[in-house]
Structure 1
């Protein structure tokens, strides 16, 4: 009868291969903590590489996150930066990666909504990676040109050159994926954060008919979010913000209490202004904002600019410019994405 061999009795070379085969940073940590021998088997530098590779597989492309984290005023954004790996950098990469993964989970509910909900499915590994790449690139663009006081925001000629150079450094297929994600954010903002008066009327026809929106009749007080603004990554939901929070989700509360932001034309321009925010800021609003006042307070606190919503993002126009320069048909590409036959995932 064959005698069983304890795992720690395997040759070190085999155990190293076991560590390298793990695709989750959590699994690597758990195996390392199994016993002292496993904990000391690999040097810290080798474990660092394993952690990086695991995060790249589950939250990557990790290199795109590094480009986001290391962007600065003294170097052109499209020039690749290769800082030395460290556990501090790895922690920051994982933090950004969790935001990317949230959009992987949200994408199907937005992409395949309404009449297309029958096509809804989870993204496969390749699609999820392409979506996360678009998230990190959108984040870098917004952070560099709209969420800092750097020269990029102040010197328009330099900013235009750098914006276009950044988009030119991406492949055409990446540009298609990028527009798909931008469209997802556009839909999220238009339906959740700044619905039109008509959208609100359709949600609450009886209240609107009497000229009194449900917001006014509910007696709900504006939530004080001031103490929560500094931490952009804060995701704890304040379930005590309204009396019926234990019955309804944040999204349900928002549909019940959110006021309209004007006509369809007003909403169009507002959506373009909201797209100057980073993905994590938009995600925070999606997770927490219930009323129009909540949204306005958050935007003002994050940007320190009371006129922030009066001008739109230049991102779409930059995208159009680069695609035209490559001979692409903008309308054809966008229609393919809308029809579910192009972009990150197809129906």
Structure 2
């Protein structure tokens, strides 16, 4: 029996059973009858439901997208569903999807790299929720134009009210994500001089000083090699793959100072939203690229003079709730709570 012969009520149930937006679209485009079987409003509901399953929680994306100066941040907003909103939600979800792929690399490093694995569905959802909420925090308090001046006392109240609207488990997930972003920033975007030095092959370490002192750099190494940036016909003959941005950055990124300087730099970079940090990861090769991005995005010559207050606010809220924050942080990094919960997996 052909599907076109099924009753419209049964076909509607078929659409409702689909778990992803591409599946719904593909079935709709099969024929004109399937395209017209559901009204647009019903399709829109199915799209949002499917997105919540694959990239949700969509509710947190909507709170991020509907921030405005006329409403308190911690009050939930319920805008009408529309295809324009759906398009914006999809764009935000795409960023979170990348972090689901990157998280294992920067969560399990060094001796812990043997534990590296893909996130399961529950862990991925917790990670996405933390991303959307950290993004909301950054957008409200650190993105230009500012919701309220950073020196205004009402900013402190709003920041704490926003964090108080989330449970302890939600805040643990955000701290887990914050630690992962610190690792990404410290190793990829603003590595220390020592980190850069450790990447230089032993037989080339005599050139290490040229990374920090350009006037000592040999002329041929002043810029990335031509072959690093472009392909030519000879590359195809020898099956030479074009290096990734991350590989080029490993060769050409300069150090940003000592370990102590690095700590404060990372806290400044955490004022950026997860989308901006991801852009830096995907597009910057040299320190000058990062500095140019900071200038273009913030127009703030004192960017490094102020730092993200998320961790301080996190401590304030949990202390007020009577939580042992030192124990909580140990539990997060040992995998007993947060995004990756080994206790949950053992059940």
Output the TM-score relative to the length of structure 2. 0.89
Which residue of structure 2 lines up, in the alignment, with residue 24 of structure 1? 20
Alignment pair present for 1:287 and 2:289? no
Which residue of structure 2 lines up, in the alignment, with residue 331 of structure 1? 326
Distance change (3 Å), C-alpha of 1:311 and 1:240: farther
Distance change (3 Å), C-alpha of 1:247 and 1:35: closer
| 8 Å Cα contact 2:140/2:147 also seen in 1 | no
Which residue of structure 2 lines up, in the alignment, with residue 219 of structure 1? 221
Alignment pair present for 1:43 and 2:39? yes
Distance change (3 Å), C-alpha of 1:112 and 1:154: closer
From 1, 6, 9, the counterpart of 2:2: 6
Which residue of structure 1 lines up, in the alignment, with residue 153 of structure 2? 157
| 8 Å Cα contact 1:146/1:153 also seen in 2 | no
Whole-Å Cα distance in 2 between the matches of residues 14 and 298 of structure 1? 53
Which residue of structure 1 lines up, in the alignment, with residue 305 of structure 2? 310
Whole-Å Cα distance in 1 between the matches of residues 113 and 186 of structure 2? 19
Alignment pair present for 1:138 and 2:134? yes
Whole-Å Cα distance in 2 between the matches of residues 251 and 105 of structure 1? 15
Which residue of structure 1 lines up, in the alignment, with residue 260 of structure 2? 265
Whole-Å Cα distance in 2 between the matches of residues 61 and 186 of structure 1? 24
Give the deviation of 1:148 after TM superposition.
Answer: 2.1
Distance change (3 Å), C-alpha of 1:114 and 1:172: same
Output the TM-score relative to the length of structure 1. 0.89
From 173, 177, 190, the counterpart of 1:177: 173
SS in 1 for 2:210: coil
| 8 Å Cα contact 1:239/1:246 also seen in 2 | no
| 8 Å Cα contact 1:258/1:291 also seen in 2 | yes
| 8 Å Cα contact 1:33/1:39 also seen in 2 | yes
SS in 2 for 1:213: helix
| 8 Å Cα contact 1:176/1:343 also seen in 2 | yes
Moved beyond 6 Å, runs of 4+: none
Give the deviation of 1:154 after TM superposition.
Answer: 3.8
Q: Deviations over 1:241-290 (max 9, x none)?
A: 9xx99542211111111111001110000000000001000000000111
Which residue of structure 2 lines up, in the alignment, with residue 55 of structure 1? 51
Alignment pair present for 1:86 and 2:82? yes
Which residue of structure 2 lines up, in the alignment, with residue 319 of structure 1? 314
Figure out how many residues of one structure are paired with residues of the other and give that number: 328
Q: Deviations over 1:318-342 (max 9, x none)?
A: 0000010111111111112222332
